Amino acid sequence: MSVVLVTGASRGIGRAIVERFSREGAQVIACARGQAGLDALKTALPQVETHACDVSDDAAVDALAQGVLARHGAVDLLINNAGAFQPGAISEEDDDALLAMLQANLFGAYRLTKRLLPAMVQRRSGMVLNVCSTASIAAYPNGGSYSIAKHALYGFSRNLREEMKPHGVRVVALLPGATRTDSWAGVPLPEHRLMPAEDVAEAAWLAWSLSARSVVEDIVLRPQLGDISDKDFA
């Protein structure tokens, strides 16, 4: 049974990923900041192991990694999905916006990955899947520090992939566009302009289900009609 650790797992894309891998019989470890969301997840999927963890808290990340390694020995698949979205123009946003976005979208994933990698390397198997964004590869108005942080997460993924090739550890960057999650709550867009989170979860599953001899390095998903633009609100 594969051991899969998913961060940001209580809602949206993370919740859909937990549900998808659970259906396949994986031992899923779900972590998120809010206990209420984890409790709801546990009620729906009692077999899932849940842990409250704010990935922007270094001590909490270290404790999570230590606990998981103590119980399971190693993680077969780490899915770094936790993050935060804060729109804003670089010229106008607060000075601390960049650090906040890096802490939420990059530093936690970087730290947790470093803690779990040695066991993967020792086994010469495993996968790290980082949930990036189309904002990781394209600039857009009002992207601000969020887009900078997502670019950095994609850069981390690409560099880690090169390092891990000789060790049998696969590294995947999953870059979804506009997806129906809480980030889009209240935005007046028709249903068809946003992808379902279940489609992003399916892409994660397909990347994992390949043999160890193959890796889908980058997965870019967008709504069928393309990225959201000003004309969608006209």
Q: What residues are annotated to the active site? A: 146
**HEC states along the chain?**
CCEEEEECCCCHHHHHHHHHHHHCCCEEEEEECCHHHHHHHHHHCCCCEEEECCCCCHHHHHHHHHHHHHHHCCCCEEEECCCCCCCCCCCCCCCCHHHHHHHHHHHHHHHHHHHHHHHHHHHCCCEEEEECCHHHCCCCCCCHHHHHHHHHHHHHHHHHHHHHHHHCCEEEEEEECCECCHHHCCCCCCHHHCECHHHHHHHHHHHHHCCCCCCCCEEEECCCCCCCCHHHHC
CA distance 53 to 62: 10
